[in-house]
Amino acid sequence: MKRIITLVGVVALAAACVGCGSNGEEAPTPTPEATVMPSPTGAENTPMPSPTGIPETPTPTEVPTSTPTPTPEVDENGMYAKCPMTYLAKRDGVTYGKYEHGTYYSEYCGRERGYTVILPNGYTTEKKYPVIYLLHGIFGDENSFAGDATNRIPELIGNLVSDGLCEEFILVCPAMFAASDETVQAPGFTGEAMVPYDRFPKELVDCLIPHIDATYSTITGREGTAIAGFSMGGRETLYTLLQYPDRFRYVCAIAPAPGLVPGVDKFMTHPGSMQEDEVKIADNVTVPEKVIICCGTSDSVVGKFPKSYHELFEKNGIAHIWYEVPKADHDNTTIQSGLFNLLRNVHFTD
Ligand code: FER
């Protein structure tokens, strides 16, 4: 029985995750986000129950004499809770990038492996561009982000670049399950299935990044490189950071999945990619300019694990920004928020 429940859960999660966070909705026509005004006192106007059971006349609500403070759009670290809808809608006059497919040779898998890439508008070898690597969720591959039109990643990039809020960059979406033979070894919720995922950071640094630098006109090295990922990709983003802290200028882990360190959740017992006391960066190492960790407050898949990474990073002295996306689940709202904040914060050519 337990096995059946687990399988049902896995299938449901696979459906949710392959598309990397699709919320299952048809692509809506975005409208400007409504601003929710808080009650001026922050307290709800709930009448107090009378001890006698006879309803008491509620005290009239005080009329505010000054303008109430609007919901802050941005926190003390400059993080927007949500990506404004205006960045997710197609605009007249803006050209949006399209995913192209490529392959590289993986020394560790002994075979060609795929990636998708979005090049900047008017890409030219006369310029050099920074590269952002974006890692998909569990059961995904290089087509996961490209195959989900509802995530509106091309729109987000095009609009931010068009508004001058983000420099042009090359987006690379790899396939993270670095197995020698995927017909033999498949993704899943077992310690064994974590091995190919945990091999990916090394493959990224040793095989994929050199391939991208040889294929496109890039700003090479830490100066021009960032990494982000959602869920399983968020976990591997953090694992990459911890192994190669000096190779990335910006890092963003969106709803990072359990298992970076030992733990148990509804899906499996995680042996941990590393132990808690190994989650450290030596003092003499160059670290990223910004590390962002975020998660939806209603994440039904990874729950409080992202927050536990934040607490562990804090305890072990790894500088980072932590924020939560109000009411968001394990979905594109969270992905869009994380990417919006990352893209507004990357400054590669300064
Ligand atoms: C887990 C819970 C969630 C886990 C992975 C995930 C490997 C990943 C979810 C996703 O990528 O969407 O326990 O273990």
Both tokens assigned to 211: 């391939």
For residue 138, give the ligand 1 atom closest to its CA. Answer: 11
The yes-or-no verdict on residue 42 having pLDDT over 70 is: no
Cα 177 to averaged position of ligand 1 atoms, centre (Å): 13
Question: Computed over its alpha carbons, how large is the radius of gyration of the chain?
Answer: 22
The yes-or-no verdict on residue 14 having pLDDT over 90 is: no
Q: What's the pLDDT band for 182 if we cut at 50, 70, 90?
A: confident
Residue 32 included in any domain: no
Residue 29 included in any domain: no
Pairing of strands 263-264, 111-118: unpaired
Counting beta carbons within 10 angstroms of the beta carbon of residue 46, is it exposed (0 to 12), middle (13 to 18) or buried (19 or more)?
exposed
Ligand 1 pocket test, pick from 189, 198, 266 with the greatest ligand atom count within 8 Å of Cβ, gives 189
Cα 66 to averaged position of ligand 1 atoms, centre (Å): 47
Residue 28 region, left (φ>0) first, then alpha (ψ -120 to 50), else beta?
beta
The yes-or-no verdict on residue 9 having pLDDT over 80 is: no
Cα 250 to averaged position of ligand 1 atoms, centre (Å): 23
- pLDDT recorded at residue 71: 56
Residue closest to 257 by CA, chosen among 114, 175, 116, 136? 136
Residue 125 included in any domain: yes
CA dist., res. 121 & res. 249, Å (int): 23
User: Backbone phi, then psi, for 181, in 5-degree steps?
Assistant: -145, 105
Handedness of CA 298, 302, 303, 304 (dihedral sign): negative
Q: What's the pLDDT band for 183 if we cut at 50, 70, 90?
A: confident
Amino acid code (one letter) for 54: I
- Give tens-digit pLDDT for 276-325: 999 999 999 999 999 999 999 999 999 999 999 999 999 999 999 999 99
Counting beta carbons within 10 angstroms of the beta carbon of residue 135, is it exposed (0 to 12), middle (13 to 18) or buried (19 or more)?
buried
- pLDDT recorded at residue 57: 43
Q: State whether the beta carbon of 135 lies less than 6 angstroms from ligand 1.
A: no
Cα 137 to averaged position of ligand 1 atoms, centre (Å): 8
Q: State whether the beta carbon of 20 lies less than 6 angstroms from ligand 1.
A: no
Both tokens assigned to 260: 């970076």
Per the model's pLDDT, the better-predicted residue between 74 and 23 turns out to be 74
Domains contained in the chain, number:
1
Q: State whether the beta carbon of 219 lies less than 6 angstroms from ligand 1.
A: no
Q: State whether the beta carbon of 292 lies less than 6 angstroms from ligand 1.
A: no
User: Backbone phi, then psi, for 196, in 5-degree steps?
Assistant: -60, -35
- pLDDT recorded at residue 13: 53
User: Backbone phi, then psi, for 131, in 5-degree steps?
Assistant: -125, 135
The yes-or-no verdict on residue 105 having pLDDT over 50 is: yes
Both tokens assigned to 139: 């059961």
- Give tens-digit pLDDT for 199-258: 999 999 999 999 999 999 999 999 999 999 999 999 999 999 999 999 999 999 999 999
DSSP assigned state of 206 = I
- pLDDT recorded at residue 294: 98
- Give tens-digit pLDDT for 47-82: 333 333 333 444 445 555 566 655 557 999 999 999
Cα distances (Å, whole numbers) of residue 346 to 50, 94, 130, 248: 56, 21, 10, 11
Residue 59 included in any domain: no
Cα distances (Å, whole numbers) of residue 135 to 23, 48, 116, 117, 204: 18, 50, 11, 12, 11
CA dist., res. 62 & res. 65, Å (int): 9
Neighbours of 290 (CB within 10 A): 20
Residue 54 included in any domain: no
Which range marks the domain in which residue 226 is found?
A: 2-19+74-345
Residue 247 included in any domain: yes
Ligand 1 pocket test, pick from 176, 232, 260 with the greatest ligand atom count within 8 Å of Cβ, gives 232
Least confident of 3-12, 132-141, 197-206: 3-12
Percent of the chain's residues with pLDDT above 90: 77
- pLDDT recorded at residue 184: 85
Q: State whether the beta carbon of 137 lies less than 6 angstroms from ligand 1.
A: yes
For residue 194, give the ligand 1 atom closest to its CA. Answer: 7
∠ CA 86-24-267 to the nearest 5 degrees? 120
What CATH number is given to the structural domain containing 147? 3.40.50.1820
Residue 21 region, left (φ>0) first, then alpha (ψ -120 to 50), else beta?
left
Residue 272 included in any domain: yes
Residue 296 included in any domain: yes
Q: State whether the beta carbon of 17 lies less than 6 angstroms from ligand 1.
A: yes
Give me the residues paired with residue 117 across strands: 100, 172
Both tokens assigned to 92: 């007249």
Q: What's the pLDDT band for 125 if we cut at 50, 70, 90?
A: very high
Q: State whether the beta carbon of 295 lies less than 6 angstroms from ligand 1.
A: no
Rounded mean pLDDT, 116-143: 98
Q: State whether the beta carbon of 239 lies less than 6 angstroms from ligand 1.
A: no
Grouping H, G, I as helix, E, B as strand and the rest as coil, residue 322 is: strand
